[in-house]
Amino acid sequence: DQQIVLASRPKGMPDASTFRVEVLALPDLNEGDVLIEPTYFSVDPYMRGRMNAGKSYIPPFEVGQPLAGGAVANVVDSKFDGLKAGDLVTGSLPWATRSVLPGKSLKKIDASLAPPSYYLGILGMPGLTAYFGLLDIGNPQPGETVVVSGAAGAVGIIVGQIAKIKGCRVVGIAGSDDKIALLKNEFGFDAVVNYKTAGNLVDAIAEACPNGVDVYFDNVGGEVSDAVIRNLNFHARIPLCGQIALYNETDVPMGPRIQPMLLTRSVLMKGFTIGNYQPRFGEGMKQLAAWVGEGKLHYKETTVKGFDKLPEAMLGLFSGQNTGKMIVEV
Ligand code: NDP
């Protein structure tokens, strides 16, 4: 067996020297343990933050230890009462070809309800993030304009569709013409701005949002968000979900660029991490699954094949290699 460990803490953008593949000798199964073999790994932008030392909402990865993240796995052998060989589980799993883990750290999933990888995307963390961030904080009303950045990514593509279900005008911001065509033609976005080629982004957003912006679902931060914020309406809401434009910055640019807009327009800006909504995950999953079943919510994945491709796939998030959810199939 093999595992991929954090070889060193990156400064700025990680590269090949950040990761190391090692041979892994599996321990014996103790009472309560299961042997699992992952089939799909999720790679997510938050993993970059875990490569840094220091306290955050989730503990850092340790140098010399395997990276880990959301994954779906087959149970190969079990000494845990609730699971048996052949079951399919999800959990936060180490980047290893097989692992021995306490059975209680895993959650059984039902592959007859949806393809297994959906539990890492639309029926998992990104879907719930879109659902609660948009509905609980954004509170979109019919006829309002919702702008979402990172629009063609795992969270953004779901945010835009939920906003359409709620009767809003939906404007996405994304980084390639292919993504823009897809969002408009297949995902029902009313307009999409390419932040890389738009030129003056403040004007481009104003043009795409003739009635201003009522909800801005922020996945990226940085200059994209500065431009959206200049177009906000009175009483606009900003679910502050992610700041991917800043995750690899060594000097995060800080400044009073936007506060006057937020203040004078009585804007609500609220950060959140999806763990805040744990008690309501059941409600979110049920609604997301219902919308998928009714054909109101469509899904998209970019699948990279091979366990050894995990680092490359994760880094690909920072150059927009994915459309929809980035998944590594083992
Ligand atoms: P995505 O699937 O959206 O992947 C990241 C995308 O971000 C890329 O495809 C790329 O698309 C875009 N991107 C990368 N770098 C930049 C940049 N410098 N400026 C603008 N866009 C950029 O990831 P997720 O949907 O999983 O996550 C989206 C955001 O939500 C992230 O910031 C993440 O950290 C956050 N998040 C927060 C959660 C929470 O609990 N608060 C939970 C889950 C995610 P493009 O081609 O358009 O540039």
For the stretch 48-83, pLDDT in tens is: 999 999 989 999 999 999 999 999 999 999 999 999
The ligand 1 atom nearest the CA atom of 323:
9
Indicate whether 135 pLDDT > 60.
Answer: yes
Indicate whether 238 pLDDT > 90.
Answer: yes
Of residues 264 and 252, more confidence is placed in 264
Q: Contact 35/29 with Cβ under 8 angstroms?
A: yes
What are the structural domain ranges in the chain?
2-121+299-329, 125-275
Do the domains at 2-121+299-329 and 125-275 have one common CATH topology?
Answer: no
Span 303-329, mean pLDDT?
A: 98
Span 135-147, mean pLDDT?
A: 98
Distance, CA of 325 to CA of 122 (rounded, Å):
8
Fold category of 125-275 in CATH:
Rossmann fold (3.40.50)
Alpha carbon nearest to ligand 1 atom 1, residue: 153
Q: What is the DSSP secondary structure assignment for residue 60, as one 8-state letter?
A: P
Nearest to 101 by CA among 124, 79, 69, 125: 79
The ligand 1 atom nearest the CA atom of 222:
19
pLDDT band for position 258 (cuts 50, 70, 90) = low
Q: Best mutation site among 128, 155, 302 for ligand 1, i.e. most ligand atoms within 8 A of its Cβ?
A: 155
Distance in Å, CA 175 to ligand 1 centroid: 11
The ligand 1 atom nearest the CA atom of 321:
9
Distance in Å, CA 29 to ligand 1 centroid: 38
pLDDT band for position 251 (cuts 50, 70, 90) = confident
What does the pLDDT read at residue 170?
A: 99
Distance in Å, CA 243 to ligand 1 centroid: 7
Superfamily of domain 2-121+299-329: Medium-chain alcohol dehydrogenases, catalytic domain (3.90.180.10)
High-pLDDT (> 90) share of the chain, %: 94
Distance, CA of 47 to CA of 326 (rounded, Å):
13
Distance in Å, CA 124 to ligand 1 centroid: 16
The ligand 1 atom nearest the CA atom of 272:
41
Nearest to 156 by CA among 178, 135, 181, 173: 173
Distance, CA of 117 to CA of 108 (rounded, Å):
13
Alpha carbon nearest to ligand 1 atom 7, residue: 150
Q: Best mutation site among 52, 132, 159, 219 for ligand 1, i.e. most ligand atoms within 8 A of its Cβ?
A: 219
Distance, CA of 21 to CA of 307 (rounded, Å):
10
Distance in Å, CA 239 to ligand 1 centroid: 14
Indicate whether 275 pLDDT > 70.
Answer: yes
What does the pLDDT read at residue 257?
A: 62
Q: CB-based contacts of 106: which residues, under 8 Å, 6+ apart?
A: 34, 36, 73, 83, 89, 90, 91
Q: Contact 187/211 with Cβ under 8 angstroms?
A: no
Distance, CA of 222 to CA of 254 (rounded, Å):
10
The ligand 1 atom nearest the CA atom of 326:
2
Q: What is the pLDDT of residues 195-231, one digit of tens each?
A: 999 999 999 999 999 999 999 999 999 999 999 999 9
Distance in Å, CA 57 to ligand 1 centroid: 18
Indicate whether 248 pLDDT > 70.
Answer: yes
What does the pLDDT read at residue 260?
A: 80
ipTM of the modeled complex:
0.99
> What residues does ligand 1 touch, defined as CB less than 6 Å away?
44-46, 125-126, 129, 150, 152-156, 174-176, 179, 219-220, 222, 224, 241-245, 272-274, 317-318, 320, 322, 326
Alpha carbon nearest to ligand 1 atom 28, residue: 219
The ligand 1 atom nearest the CA atom of 241:
41
Alpha carbon nearest to ligand 1 atom 31, residue: 242
Distance in Å, CA 78 to ligand 1 centroid: 36
